[in-house]
Amino acid sequence: MNRCAWVDGKDPVYVKYHDEEWSKPCRDDALLYEMLILECFQAGLSWACILHKREAFRRAYGGFDAQKVAAYGEREIAAMMTDESIIRNRRKIEASIRNTRVFLDIQKEYGSFAAYLWGFTDGKSVREDYTVRTTSPLSDRVAADLKRRGMAFVGSTTVYSYLQAVGVIAAHAETCFCCRKEN
């Protein structure tokens, strides 16, 4: 079975993520939130590292319940800083809580985070070849707007990866079996 070249075929977690989640159009705010948090933690690390810690992140982030996370304070930050099963980067942890609050503000303003995010593309996936770029004019616009709203760790490269992950950017390689499913 042909997959995108970046997939480590020997890693079942990676294969499952590619085959079942990556670049599939997502309009579920809960999953959009989870992926946003994970992508922000990925900055500077491998995606495989994040995927293998996903369940630990799910525990640390209250099942990725944005309302719970928005209320996190110093006690929760301190607990996460001692949790060896997640990425213990204080700046990323603090940013994730701030980003959560901005996420909720966007939900209130637009009715859903999905409406906000998909509004950048008129609700349609945009086809882009991930092998030739790590940013795009679309990721530049989304990143700039998220930063303007107060989010951190949302540079254009991180946002580009996020947009691919949630299917706003349809990025499966032409030779990948999932590409045929997109069309």
pLDDT tens sequence across 103-135: 999 999 999 999 999 999 999 999 887 667 889
The CA distances from residue 157 to 12, 45, 64, 182, in Å, are: 26, 13, 23, 23
pLDDT tens sequence across 5-15: 888 889 999 99
* Structure tokens belonging to residue 174: 């032409």
Mean pLDDT, all residues of the chain: 94
Q: What pTM was estimated for this model as a whole?
A: 0.94
Residue 151: count other Cβ atoms within 10 Å of its Cβ.
22
* Structure tokens belonging to residue 19: 């085959």
Q: Which residues are catalytic?
A: 17, 39, 47
Domains of the chain: residue spans and CATH? 20-182 (1.10.340.30)
- pLDDT for 179 equals 84
Integer Cα distance of 68 and 12 in angstroms:
31
Confidence of residue 183 (pLDDT cuts 50, 70, 90): very low
**Torsion sign across C-alpha atoms 153, 154, 160, 161:** positive
Confidence of residue 181 (pLDDT cuts 50, 70, 90): low
